[in-house]
Amino acid sequence: MSTSNGVNISKGIDWTMVLLYAILVSIGILCIFMVEYRSGTSWVTSFLTGKTNYSKQLLFAGICGLIAIFILLSDSKLYTAFANLLYAFGILLMLLTFVIGKNINGSRSWIPLAGGFNLQPAELCKIFAALALAKFISRQDIDFSKPKSQIIAAVIALSPAALSILQNETGLALVYASFFIVMFREGLPPWILIVGFSFGALVVATLVVEPNLLAIILTAIAGLTIYVMRRMIKRNKNLLVFILLIWAVCVGVQRFAVPYIFNNVFQCYQSQRIYSMVGKDYDCSKNRSAKNERAADKAVKKPDDYNVRQSKIAIGSGGIVGRGFLKGTQTRGKYVPEQHTDFIFTSLGEAFGFIGCFVFLGIYLLMLFRIITIAERQRSTFSRVYAYSVASIMFFHITVNVCMTIGLFPIIGIPLPLISYGGSSLLTFTILIFILIRLDADRQMVLR
């Protein structure tokens, strides 16, 4: 083992993954180029001067390539050994932001580095959390079917999320929810997912359906359930109490919890974004933070769904085959805000249409399936859990980002993996993927 390790690092490396990675990064740079391109200006000179985002992204890609090689050269045992330590380091960094954090776009989640670069610890923490979770579940004394270990795993996964929320980075916090997919794979009882899904459905229903009508519907469902299960209830009175309890919780959520959260917890613009997703208008005068601002005599700007509208127009105008490379008017006219970062998908949708999107999403799906295949062929639990973490994080990013651009999800700042402009994000996913490739290359070893 030790002999081959030094001589041939390429042994056991999954080249399909590397290829998919390279393709996606290239598509990303191309997309950023489409966004930045201005007819009339010579792109060669602007590329060489390095002032443009696509040349910066290319630079980031180069750095990421070096780091990828570095990771491939490293020893996979390193990651199991340092998993917990790295996790602790990550949490520390996140706590550090509260002290020396820099405020960018309203969130105090950045640590300024030398040379004008900023680091977002929450991004790196995804890697550390994945490693720590893998480490915890792969421990021999852990039986993941026990609720206690499930709760500990959840705490490991969710503590960075809690810190992220405190940093006002709701989007990044949501990413940690993706660890539930991993835990589900490792034996989390399925009712948790079902309850989570039902809760989501209830919230959406609350937004869409008239409150009183929804209460009546819920009551009717409860009544029907009691009627259907009347025999079982006769045998076991607790069941009735249980059903009534669920009913009470549902109505409570619908009548009080959701309006309370929308009016008192969320900012006006957040509520508006969620409402506009279901095609409704939120009345900001009910919002507490808006009221506070008004009381403080600040002009409350009525948020609108400009971003989503323009984003949908861009994608929708692509049609079947798209408007062609560099021909999209939405992109050229800079109608979509933040198009090189969170809304990068729109440039692709506009230029290459449905077929382009289909192929692009196909590449992503291929990558996800490849990761799952890799996960399932691991002999060590650590590698498997880590692989699932990578798949889940990527899946969550892709889904939320794409859904946000096509109006299926409220706008939260989550980048498209490997495509969106930004060094932090690209670096995070590079590290995530290449650690996986390294672990997979050593799949014959049993890691703890």
Partner 1 sequence: MYNQSRSRIVQIIFVLVFMVILGQLLHLQIFSGKYRLQAENNAVYRKIVYPDRGIIYDRKHKAILENTIMYDLIITPSEIKGTDTTSLCQILNIDTAEFRKRVRDIIFKNSYVKPSVFEPLLSPELLARLNENMYKFPGFSLNERPVRTYPFNVAADVLGYTGEVDTGFLRRHREEGYEMGDYAGMTGMERSYEKALMGVRGVKRYIRDNRSRIQGPYENGAYDTSAMAGKNLYTSIDVELQQLGEKLMNNKVGSIVAIDPRTGGVLCMVSAPTYNPNYLTGNQRRKHFSELFTDPRLPLLNRTVGTQYSPGSTFKTVVGIVGLTEGVINEREMISCSGAFYGCGNGKPKCLDRGTFDFTNAIAVSDNTYFATVYKRIIDQQRYGSADSSLKVFNNYAYTFGLGHKLGIDLPSEKKGNIPISSYYAKIFGSRWVSCNIISNSIGQGEVQTTLAQLANVMAIIANKGWYYTPHLVDSIEGGDEFHLLDSFRVKHYTASHITEKTFDEVQNGMQAVMEFGTGAAAKVPGVVVCGKTGTVQNALNGVKQKDHAFFGAFAPRDNPRIAIAVMCENAGFGASSAAPIASLMIEKYLKDSIAGKERQDKAEAVAKMNLIPERMRRAMDSISNLNRRRDSLKLIKDAQKEMSDTVEVEDRAEQEQRTPTDSAAKPARQQQAPVKKQPQPAGKKAVLQSPATLPPDEQQRKNSRKTKP
Site of interaction with partner 1 (CB under 8 A):
38-40, 181, 184-187, 310, 312-320, 327, 329-330, 332-335, 349-350, 353-354, 357-358, 361, 364-365, 368-369, 372, 375-376, 388, 391, 395, 399, 402-403, 406-408
Least distance CB 418 / partner 1 (angstroms): 17
Q: Which is nearer to partner 1, 123 or 350 (CB)?
A: 350
Residue 229 phi, psi dihedral angles, 5° rounding: -100, 25
Least distance CB 415 / partner 1 (angstroms): 17
215's CB contacts (< 8 A; 6+ apart) are 251, 254, 255
Least distance CB 80 / partner 1 (angstroms): 19
Least distance CB 416 / partner 1 (angstroms): 12
Q: Which is nearer to partner 1, 301 or 327 (CB)?
A: 327
Q: Which is nearer to partner 1, 226 or 368 (CB)?
A: 368
Q: Which is nearer to partner 1, 256 or 306 (CB)?
A: 306
Least distance CB 369 / partner 1 (angstroms): 7
Say how many CA atoms lie within 13 Å of 23 toward its Cβ.
14
Q: Which is nearer to partner 1, 165 or 192 (CB)?
A: 192
Least distance CB 247 / partner 1 (angstroms): 28
Q: Which is nearer to partner 1, 310 or 341 (CB)?
A: 310
Is 336:346 a contact under the CB 8 Å cutoff? yes
Least distance CB 312 / partner 1 (angstroms): 6
Q: Which is nearer to partner 1, 47 or 184 (CB)?
A: 184
Closest to 31 (Cα-Cα) out of 433, 319, 351: 351
Is 271:277 a contact under the CB 8 Å cutoff? no
Least distance CB 61 / partner 1 (angstroms): 26
Q: Which is nearer to partner 1, 253 or 314 (CB)?
A: 314
Least distance CB 176 / partner 1 (angstroms): 17
Q: Which is nearer to partner 1, 39 or 212 (CB)?
A: 39
Least distance CB 128 / partner 1 (angstroms): 23
- What are 122's strand-pairing partners? none
Q: Which is nearer to partner 1, 31 or 218 (CB)?
A: 31
